[in-house]
Amino acid sequence: MQTPDHNPDTLFDTDLYTIEWSDIEHAEMDYENYLNDIESFFREDFEDAIPEENIY
């Protein structure tokens, strides 16, 4: 029989990991920055891609 590596009697502080609905509800999205991040991701991915004629 195996012994678990963790202590099951350890208390878990749920307050450290709880997100309140008001935190989400009142958060403002920075859509301009979000779209810039997406655009940058695809631009970098495109620039780093191997041209199709070099694959064969």
Instruction: Write a three-state SS string for the chain.
Output: CCCCCCCCCCCCCHHHHCCCHHHHHCCCCCHHHHHHHHHHHHHHHHHHCCCHHHCC
pTM of the model: 0.38
pLDDT tens sequence for the chain (56 residues): 566 666 666 666 666 778 888 878 877 778 888 899 999 999 988 888 776 666 66
